[in-house]
């Protein structure tokens, strides 16, 4: 066969088999679309997360000086390390593979423009800081440059939100603001950027000054922190090691003492998300390939049918070629020599059919549609029932169901490959939808678990400074909490279910020669349940007796306990907190957190608030944590907090900068909506994958209808009703769909059991979750399967019911 004749035959097949070709192409097309959509979805989500991550900076490490935890060269542990500009110059000189910038921070300076007064976070840096931190000036402005530093110019660069707070929608560049009553010229405004994380407040709320100007105004010698950026992410570990060596040599501490200089390596977060999205995209690509495989199975299946058709009789176009005109049925197809055997077969499987068709006198002109004869007799049942009427009429008696089952078994025995491939296609589709929905459910639960690690529906309250004049008092007044504020809020606001004050200070926590500079917080007993600090077996959280007696007991984060005690049980043993002995009463169960405000709980030590106050008499509550009586009462509780404390501290209740409130409910809603959106998207893709399998079933059923055209004609001639013609095809499609659904679900459950047994470790897998089967998934899969089975059988069955007996008896 030449290429031209092959192409001609293929085009003739497409013309004569429109439905078959359309369904086959649709299955392959959707398989390709599914793979593309899933991979593109994973790629787009990864780029969005990376963009938010790079808002903080790319390949940077944030460092802050702390205290030594190891004795070194005759010097004791606990010495404070302070880094100055000479240290920064030494780092730049000895480690040329990285860029370094110190950062001086202050949050007590008053910013004023006309009647607007604010106390934002202020940062003094070098020009390279903006490059490392991805701080880009908006059009018409610039960042601090070397000339500003050399001449100690009084210029300021504003975050975009801070600019709006000071100037509204007006122009800021070239105008003057007062910082602690000193005039500063605004030289630029930051172009807005997405920033998922921060270490001292978000850049949108900050003001940036030249470091030399800052040191001259505030006589500051030591940096608050410093950052460095390696040329490549792979160089970060080596640069980190050399930073410890350089500063260790200059400040006489052990270069292995990681507590002396705290470091936050942001490349670790990027590695985490690379693993996470690599796994996520691989999973999506595999599931998308399932859809393509389903479509391929459908093509293979229909090609088996084509082979069988061309094996039994010559291709109809061969007759056309010989006859020189339209395609005709073979002459021997009109004979009746084979009818008695066929009729006996029909009577054997359908004994309820009468011997005469009541309207055998009527005839109709046949027409072709998709290769099958579907002319309808003009007599009884001339118009087949459609929609729900036809589906309802397909309900059969037990004897008729048994007949359908016998026909199905006979057909399965005769067409093993066809049935096997059809069932396999449905099984693949079911596997796809179950795995996608289960993956989405597992991710949703993992998201919920990580969000709940911070606390469910809680609010975090901290003091700020007034920005509006109120009751004869100027703006810019700082607010400071007292112990009485907690009792006041508890008594005045019924919408609060619980509230706790929180003191916090970073101090050495020691066990023998081991010492860790940890954050120690003083809280009330309600703090633990609100923040989901669950004690591990054998331990407990702080209770009321600890508060009343000011006991020196401590509850350790799991990582802090491991750093101090290793694998030993800490409960009942003692540690030193700032040289005072504390009894360990509990260790936190490990948990995953999404979001935090003072560092992860796993590295913190928690003691009773009165005990903390007795140790540090000048301490004031840094913040308060509260839980509303319900998620719906959160907004009312927030408004009441502003009203009650506004009355006490005499500030406008609408002044949202006088008090800062982080309402975690909004974060939870956003996270849960994201997880739900991912689950719905995956479910739609899975359902459409299953519909591809359904198209394969429908395609096969159309071929079956065509094969059984003579048999259908005999049934119609013997008086078969519409439901008796339609029922075998609907039931056969449902049986194949159910068999494939059961097989696919069983394989899915097996795969999930294997995945659950795998020792997958790391934060990426904890964040991603494991595929989780649920009753909702079972119900939705059953509904989709049932719908597909009914549709795949109904339309071919309707064609079968429209067959003209007079014409079908002549069809071969």
Q: Are residues 463 and 583 in the same domain?
A: yes
Interatomic CA distance for residues 720 and 394, integer angstroms: 13
Query: What does the block give as tokens for 105?
Result: 């921070």
- pLDDT category of residue 311 using cuts at 50, 70 and 90: low
pLDDT of residue 361: 39
Q: Are residues 480 and 577 in the same domain?
A: yes
Residue with tokens 């096969």: 700
Q: Are residues 401 and 319 in the same domain?
A: yes
Longest dimension (CA), the chain: 117
pLDDT of residue 766: 65
Q: Are residues 515 and 648 in the same domain?
A: yes
What are phi and psi for residue 771, nearest 5 degrees?
-55, 130
Q: Are residues 491 and 637 in the same domain?
A: yes
Q: What are the strands, taking DSSP E only, across 3-121?
A: 60-65, 98-106, 111-113, 116-118
Q: Are residues 715 and 793 in the same domain?
A: yes
pTM of the model: 0.64
Does residue 343 surpass a pLDDT of 60? no
**Rg, Å, the chain Cα set:** 38
Is residue 432 a contact partner of residue 290, using CB atoms and an 8 Å limit? yes
Range from 58-62, 157-161, 602-606, 669-673 carrying the lowest mean pLDDT:
669-673
pLDDT 10s digits, 233-253: 889 999 999 999 999 999 999
Helices (H), 133-186: 146-150, 160-167
Does residue 513 surpass a pLDDT of 50? yes
pLDDT of residue 438: 85
Which residues have a Cβ under 8 Å from the Cβ of 804 and sit 6 or more positions away?
363, 364, 366, 373, 374, 375, 376, 377, 713, 716
Is residue 14 a contact partner of residue 302, using CB atoms and an 8 Å limit? no
pLDDT of residue 252: 94
pLDDT 10s digits, 81-115: 999 999 999 999 999 999 999 999 987 788 988 88
- pLDDT category of residue 213 using cuts at 50, 70 and 90: very high
Q: Could you tell me if residue 633 is inside a domain?
A: yes
Hey, CA dihedral for 400, 406, 407, 412, is it positive or negative?
positive
Question: Are β-strands 116-118 and 98-106 bridged in parallel, bridged antiparallel, or unpaired?
Answer: unpaired
- Residue finishing a domain among 594, 629, 660: 660
pLDDT of residue 258: 87
Q: Are residues 352 and 390 in the same domain?
A: yes
Is residue 124 a contact partner of residue 211, using CB atoms and an 8 Å limit? yes
List C-alpha distances in Å: 409 to 99, 248, 398, 413: 75, 82, 16, 6
List C-alpha distances in Å: 209 to 122, 130, 212, 213, 476: 8, 12, 9, 7, 20
Interatomic CA distance for residues 173 and 649, integer angstroms: 35
Interatomic CA distance for residues 210 and 146, integer angstroms: 9
Q: Could you tell me if residue 749 is inside a domain?
A: no
Q: In the 8-state DSSP scheme, what is residue 272?
A: H
Range from 61-75, 186-200, 263-277, 572-586 carrying the lowest mean pLDDT:
263-277
pLDDT of residue 431: 81
Does residue 387 surpass a pLDDT of 50? no
Q: Could you tell me if residue 34 is inside a domain?
A: yes
Range from 161-165, 493-497, 539-543, 750-754 carrying the lowest mean pLDDT:
750-754
Q: Could you tell me if residue 518 is inside a domain?
A: yes
Q: What are the strands, taking DSSP E only, across 231-282?
A: 261-265
Query: What does the block give as tokens for 663?
Result: 């309402």
Estimate to the nearest angstrom the gap between the alpha carbon of 720 and the chain centroid: 55
Q: Could you tell me if residue 396 is inside a domain?
A: yes
- pLDDT category of residue 493 using cuts at 50, 70 and 90: very high
Query: What does the block give as tokens for 312?
Result: 């039994």
Does residue 161 surpass a pLDDT of 80? yes
Estimate to the nearest angstrom the gap between the alpha carbon of 233 and the chain centroid: 26
Interatomic CA distance for residues 775 and 781, integer angstroms: 10
Q: In the 8-state DSSP scheme, what is residue 478?
A: B
* Nearest residue to 607 via CA among 627, 629, 584: 584
HSE on the CB side for 598, CA within 13 Å? 21
HSE on the CB side for 461, CA within 13 Å? 30
Q: Could you tell me if residue 165 is inside a domain?
A: yes
Does residue 375 surpass a pLDDT of 70? no
* Nearest residue to 100 via CA among 270, 253, 217, 223: 223
Is residue 247 a contact partner of residue 84, using CB atoms and an 8 Å limit? no
Q: For the purposes of burial, counting CB atoms within 10 Å of the CB of 65, is it exposed (0-12), middle (13-18) or buried (19 or more)?
A: buried
pLDDT of residue 245: 95
Number of C-beta neighbours around residue 316 at 10 A: 18
Select the more confidently predicted residue: 810 or 635: 635
Is residue 639 a contact partner of residue 441, using CB atoms and an 8 Å limit? no
Interatomic CA distance for residues 136 and 612, integer angstroms: 43
Range from 188-202, 370-384, 455-469 carrying the lowest mean pLDDT:
370-384
Query: What does the block give as tokens for 455?
Result: 């606390």
Q: Could you tell me if residue 726 is inside a domain?
A: yes
Q: Could you tell me if residue 370 is inside a domain?
A: yes
N- to C-terminal Cα separation, the chain: 26
Select the more confidently predicted residue: 187 or 406: 187
| Long-range residue pairs from 173-181, CB within 8 A, at least 24 positions apart, any chain | 173/140, 173/141, 175/113, 177/111, 177/112, 177/113, 178/110, 178/111, 178/112, 178/113, 179/109, 179/110, 179/111, 179/112, 179/122, 179/207, 180/109, 180/110, 180/217, 181/110, 181/112
pLDDT of residue 655: 87
Q: Are residues 347 and 483 in the same domain?
A: no
- State which H helix or E strand residue 581 sits in: strand 580-587
Q: Are residues 509 and 586 in the same domain?
A: yes
Q: Are residues 247 and 392 in the same domain?
A: no
pLDDT of residue 302: 65
- pLDDT category of residue 528 using cuts at 50, 70 and 90: very high
Specify which of 67-71, 131-135, 700-704 reaches the highest per-range mean pLDDT: 131-135
- State which H helix or E strand residue 63 sits in: strand 60-65
pLDDT of residue 87: 95
- pLDDT category of residue 390 using cuts at 50, 70 and 90: very low
pLDDT of residue 554: 97
Range from 301-315, 512-526, 719-733 carrying the lowest mean pLDDT:
301-315
Does residue 743 surpass a pLDDT of 80? yes
**Concatenated DSSP letters for 309-343?**
HHHHS--HHHHHHHHTSS----GGGG--TTHHHHH
Is residue 149 a contact partner of residue 155, using CB atoms and an 8 Å limit? no
Query: What does the block give as tokens for 59?
Result: 């390949």
Q: Are residues 605 and 702 in the same domain?
A: no
Interatomic CA distance for residues 242 and 234, integer angstroms: 14
Q: Are residues 317 and 241 in the same domain?
A: no
The total of structural domains in the chain comes to: 3
Interatomic CA distance for residues 271 and 191, integer angstroms: 27
Which residues have a Cβ under 8 Å from the Cβ of 591 and sit 6 or more positions away?
449, 453, 532, 534, 601, 602
Which residues have a Cβ under 8 Å from the Cβ of 735 and sit 6 or more positions away?
408
- Residue finishing a domain among 232, 252, 272: 252
- State which H helix or E strand residue 460 sits in: strand 459-463
Whole-number average pLDDT of the chain:
79
Q: In the 8-state DSSP scheme, what is residue 479?
A: -
Helices (H), 121-221: 128-132, 146-150, 160-167, 211-218
Q: For residue 207, what are the β-bridge partners? A: 122, 158
- pLDDT category of residue 470 using cuts at 50, 70 and 90: confident
Helices (H), 720-774: 722-757, 763-768
pLDDT 10s digits, 250-263: 999 999 988 899 88
Range of the domain at 338: 3-40+280-431+676-742+785-808
pLDDT 10s digits, 548-600: 999 999 999 999 999 999 999 999 999 999 889 999 999 999 887 766 677 78
HSE on the CB side for 80, CA within 13 Å? 5
Is residue 628 a contact partner of residue 490, using CB atoms and an 8 Å limit? no
List C-alpha distances in Å: 113 to 180, 464, 537: 11, 19, 57
Interatomic CA distance for residues 507 and 776, integer angstroms: 50
Is residue 690 a contact partner of residue 433, using CB atoms and an 8 Å limit? yes
Interatomic CA distance for residues 438 and 736, integer angstroms: 24
């Amino acid at each position: 066969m030449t290429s031209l004749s092959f192409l001609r035959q293929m085009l003739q097949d497409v013309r004569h088999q429109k439905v078959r070709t359309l369904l086959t192409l649709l299955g392959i097309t959707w398989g390709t679309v599914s793979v593309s959509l899933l991979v593109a979805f994973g790629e787009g989500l990864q780029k969005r997360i990376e963009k938010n991550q790079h808002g903080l900076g790319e390949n940077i490490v944030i460092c802050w000086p702390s205290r030594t935890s190891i004795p070194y060269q005759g010097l004791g542990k606990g010495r404070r390390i302070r880094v100055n500009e000479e240290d920064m110059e030494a780092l730049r000189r000895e480690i040329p593979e990285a860029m370094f910038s110190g950062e001086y921070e202050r949050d007590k300076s008053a910013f004023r423009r006309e009647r607007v007064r604010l106390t934002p976070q202020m940062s003094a840096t070098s020009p390279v800081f903006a490059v490392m931190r991805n701080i880009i000036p908006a059009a018409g402005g610039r960042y601090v440059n070397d000339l500003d530093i050399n001449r100690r110019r009084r210029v300021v660069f504003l975050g975009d939100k801070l600019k709006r707070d000071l100037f509204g929608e007006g122009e800021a560049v070239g105008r003057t603001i007062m910082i602690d009553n000193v005039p500063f010229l605004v030289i630029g405004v930051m172009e807005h950027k997405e920033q998922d994380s921060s270490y001292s407040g978000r850049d949108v709320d900050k003001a940036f000054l030249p470091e030399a100007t800052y040191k001259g105004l505030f006589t500051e010698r030591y940096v608050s922190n410093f950052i460095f950026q390696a040329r490549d992410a792979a160089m970060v570990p080596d640069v980190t090691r050399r930073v410890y060596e350089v500063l260790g040599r200059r400040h006489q501490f052990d270069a292995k003492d990681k507590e002396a200089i705290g470091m936050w390596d942001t490349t670790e977060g990027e590695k985490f998300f690379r693993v996470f999205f690599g796994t996520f995209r691989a999973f999506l690509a595999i599931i998308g390939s399932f859809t393509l495989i389903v479509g391929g199975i459908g093509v293979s299946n229909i090609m088996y049918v084509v082979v069988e058709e061309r094996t039994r009789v010559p291709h109809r176009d061969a007759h056309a070629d010989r006859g020189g005109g339209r395609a005709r049925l073979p002459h021997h197809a009109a004979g009746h020599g084979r009818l008695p055997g066929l009729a006996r077969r029909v009577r054997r499987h359908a004994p309820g059919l009468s011997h005469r068709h009541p309207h055998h006198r009527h005839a109709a002109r046949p027409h072709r549609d998709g290769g099958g004869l579907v002319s309808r007799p003009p007599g009884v049942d001339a118009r087949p029932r459609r929609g729900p009427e036809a589906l309802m009429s397909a309900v059969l008696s037990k004897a008729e169901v048994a007949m359908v089952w016998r026909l199905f078994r006979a057909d399965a025995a005769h067409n093993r490959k066809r049935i096997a491939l059809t069932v396999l296609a449905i099984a693949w589709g079911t596997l796809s939808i179950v795995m996608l929905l289960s993956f989405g459910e597992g991710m949703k639960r993992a998201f919920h678990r990580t969000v709940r690690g911070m606390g469910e529906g809680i609010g975090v309250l901290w003091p700020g400074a007034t920005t509006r004049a109120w009751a004869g008092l100027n703006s810019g007044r700082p607010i400071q909490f007292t112990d009485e504020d907690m009792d006041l809020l508890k008594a005045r606001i019924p919408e609060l279910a619980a509230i706790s004050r929180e003191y916090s200070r970073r101090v050495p926590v020691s066990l023998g020669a081991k010492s860790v500079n940890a954050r120690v917080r003083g809280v009330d007993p309600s703090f633990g349940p609100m923040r989901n600090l669950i004690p591990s077996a054998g331990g407990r959280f702080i209770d009321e007796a600890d508060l009343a007696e000011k006991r020196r007991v401590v509850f350790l984060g799991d990582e802090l306990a491991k750093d101090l005690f290793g694998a030993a049980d800490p409960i009942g043993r003692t540690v030193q907190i700032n040289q005072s002995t504390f009894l360990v009463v509990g260790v936190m169960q490990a948990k995953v957190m999404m979001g935090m405000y003072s560092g992860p709980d796993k590295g913190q030590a928690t003691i009773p608030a009165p005990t903390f106050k007795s140790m540090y008499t000048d301490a004031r509550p840094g913040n308060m944590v509260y839980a509303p009586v319900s998620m719906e009462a959160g907004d009312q509780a927030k408004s009441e907090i502003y009203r009650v404390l506004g009355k006490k501290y005499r500030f406008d209740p609408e002044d949202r900068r006088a008090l800062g409130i982080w309402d975690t409910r909004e974060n939870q809603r956003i996270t849960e909506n994201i997880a739900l959106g991912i689950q719905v998207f995956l479910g739609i893709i899975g359902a459409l994958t299953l519909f591809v399998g359904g198209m394969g079933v429908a395609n096969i059923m159309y071929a079956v209808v065509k094969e059984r055209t003579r048999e259908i004609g005999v049934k119609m001639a013997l008086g078969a009703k519409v439901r008796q013609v339609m029922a075998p095809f609907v039931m056969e499609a449902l049986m194949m769909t159910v068999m494939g659904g059961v097989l696919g679900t069983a394989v899915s459950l097996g795969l999930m059991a294997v995945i659950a047994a795998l020792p997958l470790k790391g934060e990426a897998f904890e964040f991603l979750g494991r595929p989780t089967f649920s009753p909702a998934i079972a119900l939705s899969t059953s509904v989709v399967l049932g719908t597909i089975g009914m549709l795949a059988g109904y339309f071919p069955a309707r064609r079968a019911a429209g067959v003209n007996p007079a014409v079908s008896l002549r069809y071969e």
